[in-house]
Amino acid sequence: MDFRRWAAGAAVLLSAGMLANCSQIFGGGEGEGVTTAMLVGADGDTANWISHGRTYSEQRYSPLEGVNRENVGQLGLAWYADMDTGRGQEATPLVIDGKLYLTTAWSKVKAFDATTGKPLWEYDPKVPGETAVKACCDVVNRGLAAYGDKLFFGTLDGRLIALDRNTGGVLWEKVTVDQSKSYTITGAPRVIDGKVIIGNGGAEFGVRGFVAAYDANDGAQLWKFYTVPEGKQGDDAPAYLQKAAETWNMDVLGANDAIGGGGTVWDSMAYDPELDLLYIGVGNGSPWNRAYRSPAKDGSGGEGDNLYLSSIVAIRPKTGEYVWHYQTTPGETWDFTATQHIMLADMEIDGKLRKVLMQAPKNGFFYVIDRETGKFISAKPYVGLNWATGIDPKTGRPIENPETRVDRTGKPAMVLPGPLGGHNWHPMAFSPKEKLVYIPAFEAGMLYAPLANWKPDTARGFNVGFDFAGNLPPDGGFRQQAAGTLKGRLVAWDPVAQKARWTVEHPGPWNGGLLATGGGLVFQGTTGSEFNAYDAGTGKKLWSFAAQTGVVAPPITYTVNGEQYVAVLAGWGGAYALSVDGDLINRKAPVRNISRLLVFKLGGTAKLPPPPPLADLPLDPPPSTASPEVIAVGQAKYGRYCAVCHAPGAVGSTVLPDLRRAGALESAATWQTVVHDGALKDRGMASFAGSLSKEEIEAIRAYVIKRANEDKALEAGKKIARR
């Protein structure tokens, strides 16, 4: 018997309602746990949420309709649980047999009774605090995988850990990366036929990307699939990597430890059991600037498609064998990853039922691809963009705007989307009833300024080949204009017609992932500290809850004893919260981090405690006395080593300290103790002694003091004007 076809057929019966409870046919009690058949047939299990996207197709759609358009106004808080960290929360919870499991920032794991919120157990892998400097985009974690009686998750420092689902005890632990390099894990694993599959991040720092499979029983590595060729690659390399090598300057790739090529598989995966294909999304190049990563032999800039960067790749989950790929951004140079949510569906296109794969990657185009062959079907912009004018329908390649090819021109260019994309990691959702994909989209362009004579640094900081030292002047009018370019929206996208059906505008970018339900609802949290329900057909807001914090994680829904619940992990953070000028964020929607799990049901009556006041420390820096030359050095070093976490212009967010207001600014000795000696390494601020001299560290302090005084004067001017 073909097991996969049998399981797929059982899933059809389940979804048709012919079997009342999948656990009756597939097991699922405390003894047997989660089986392969349960994962394949997850669409028919409306009680639980047993894998990251609920099903292998990653549609994030639940047929549940107990909460619906007519009664969603009665939705109330059933219970909540505060988290023990004030960093970004991005995880999708799992629910199995009335118990809820989730990961939090710093790779911690917690278990709760799904109806009452009673804590059951928790586990802290004790990730070293200094690992934070290896993470491009906050110390986040996006979730767990379940198989048998085990839960699997990755840690920020690159471990894959299996826990006993009932006790939280460690069953096995495997280091999956070279921990001497800046690899991290923030994404959720997937399990296919007893194989735990996990990727990693770190392309901003110079690593070489891969995805690997481990045995669910003991953690033994089964296969590893590299996404870019090796610098000193031999003739025995797999054929797919030999093919990739033809698209790189192999004399440069791997010549330095900080030019590993990138291509990390840090988030999205999907699986088709019938085709037995695993689809992975591959990230950006390392460094970003292709002129340094894969320079042209004639010195004219960057060259080559650089496979398999920014690609969707289909592989065999049993062996890691390459099957096909589609590259969304050939020779990418803007951090246009294809690691964004991959979703599978069967839909009629031009009168023919097609097995398709859909993705809205960072580059701003929504793609529909044949998932059997990797053949391009269609692509249209889902946000405003200027790097390309369209996608060639015959070749599937972008029609590029040459002015934005900064790796060839060597000149700065304002590019839309910017490195955060038109869509980032936040999951989409698909409603088969409405035939719409719901996209958490946004617009946030960036000035890409190539650095002349750039050299990589293997110790600390981004290795991207662009200048992050650019500074927004302390002028309120300019900032107001810049804030006007930051837009966030919920887009209901028709993937067949390739156009928006409806759009909801949000206060700003970086809004939450999505959930669609059979009750005709779409749930999403926002930067504006709300958790909302919309009509899936029209976009009308039907319900809203004041979450007290920005919500970026995606919701889930489940039932226990026939009662439907909706849950979401709230807590502001992530790349946008850290790397964007804090004043621009606050002009859109002032937001702070209050990390907690929120769980709702019809008639819920629980109440949140009053939020703490949103107040900044006073802006009272020491006088700026350093020379312009010292301040200029400080600005350049701040841009390379500090801006990614503490924001451009030193205008921090409410997640990490605003350095303009830091007490250490008063004392050169204290500043050196923190930045040079690593006094706060356990809190995420590692030593930069290997990358910055004491003189350069003091220059950074001088630059921050100058910026603080500029903004203090601006605030004083506003107060005088109000009088």
**Catalytic residue positions, numbered:** 335
Quote the longest CA-to-CA distance of the chain.
83
Whether the CB-CB separation of 188 and 197 falls below 8 Å is answered with no
Those residues with Cβ within 8 angstroms of residue 151's Cβ, 6 or more apart along the chain or in another chain: 94, 101, 109, 144, 145, 162, 163, 164, 165
- Comparing CA positions, the residue from 228, 405, 233, 258 lying closest to residue 327 is 228
DSSP string, 538-567: T--EEEEEE-SS---SPPEEEEETTEEEEE
Question: φ and ψ at 487, to 5 degrees?
Answer: -130, 145
Residues 454 and 464: their CA atoms lie apart, in Å, by 9
- Comparing CA positions, the residue from 649, 666, 656, 645 lying closest to residue 704 is 649
- Comparing CA positions, the residue from 52, 571, 692, 26 lying closest to residue 341 is 52
Whether the CB-CB separation of 593 and 573 falls below 8 Å is answered with yes
Q: In what order do the strands lie in the sheet with 99-103?
A: 94-96, 99-103, 109-113, 119-123
Residues 451 and 130: their CA atoms lie apart, in Å, by 28
What does the angle CA 337 – CA 523 – CA 81 come to, to the nearest 5 degrees? 95
Q: Give the count of beta carbons closer than 10 Å to the beta carbon of residue 623.
A: 7
- Comparing CA positions, the residue from 364, 581, 406 lying closest to residue 482 is 581
- Helix %, strand %, coil % for the chain, to 5? 20, 30, 50
| Chain center to CA of 79 | 27
Torsion of CA 337, 343, 344, 347, to 10 degrees: -100
Those residues with Cβ within 8 angstroms of residue 613's Cβ, 6 or more apart along the chain or in another chain: none
Omega cis (within 30) before 308 = yes
DSSP string, 399-464: EE-GGG-HHHH-S-EEESS-TT-SS-SS--EEETTTTEEEEEEEE--EEE-BPTT----SSSS---
- Comparing CA positions, the residue from 55, 682, 553 lying closest to residue 345 is 55
| Chain center to CA of 257 | 25
Residues 174 and 160: their CA atoms lie apart, in Å, by 5
DSSP bridge pairs for 208:
262
Query: SS3 string of 511-522?
Result: CCCEEEECCCEE
Those residues with Cβ within 8 angstroms of residue 365's Cβ, 6 or more apart along the chain or in another chain: 328, 379, 380, 381, 382, 385, 388, 391, 398
What does the angle CA 637 – CA 643 – CA 646 come to, to the nearest 5 degrees? 125
